[in-house]
Amino acid sequence: LRGYVPLYYCRVMYLFIIFRVMYPFIICRVMVSNLNAEKYEDNVDIIVSPPFVYISQVKETLTAPIQISAQNSWVGKGGAFTGEISVEQLKDIGCEWVILGHSERRHVIGETDEFTRKKAAYALGQNLKVIACIGEKLEERESGNTFDVCFRQLKSFADEVPSWKDIVIAYEPVWAIGTGKVATPEQAQEVHGAIREWVSKNVSPQVASEIRIIYGGMKYFLLLLFSIMNQAVFPVFLSPVSIISS
């Protein structure tokens, strides 16, 4: 993959890896060992996102130039919110990024667009970078509402965030997460193009030209390769399964 990156576009490649909550630390340790063994070019940004309880252990064992992301953060300054994790705590342990708006937070936990945008605004205000997740459910795609859903979620972020320079947009169709299904390259390309056009019209052409858009829920290596070869689509959320199969 490193050989392809410089040939097709000059933007920095972005590889984002989530360590899922069901994996024990021994699996995280194997993945960290594999990541440490790699050699990375300057135009590749790599971010890993372990479960909160493993963040410090992962950070201490990483030797490669890899950044750390949390999988969630609280909506405001810390206080009496038992079980939640504040932005300030994440920064204390060395996190540079946080995932917000993930489909499981939206559709399982019940976090609304409004709640998610407030979390993003607070994180960015505290200099914690944000992976802003958007994406439609299967019934929304089948009813032809993919763009409506994605644009609504984008607008929610746009209404609150102070700047887009520390945001990466992650398009993750909910129907392609843990289901064995995967969006085709054409489907991913279509939505990524629409996202960039929306940003151009509703934020600014400059932001649209600079912001990185990645695909989440990926299972197959060929879609990753397509992403690298196509300027409009950017890699990629990867699960441990994806890394091993690759």
Partnered with residue 100 across adjacent β-strands are 132
SS (H, E, C) the chain: CCCCHHHHCCCCEEEEEECCCCCCHHHHHHHHHHHHHCCCCCCEEEEEECCHHHHHHHHHHCCCCCEEEECCCCCCCCCCCCCCCCHHHHHHCCCCEEEECCHHHHHHHCCCHHHHHHHHHHHHHCCCEEEEEECCCHHHHHCCCHHHHHHHHHHHHHCCCCCCCCEEEEECCHHHCCCCCCCCHHHHHHHHHHHHHHHHHHCCHHHHHHCEEEECCCCCHHHHHHHHHCCCCECCEECHHHHHHC
d(CA 217, CA 11): 22
Show which residues are catalytic. Answer: 102, 172
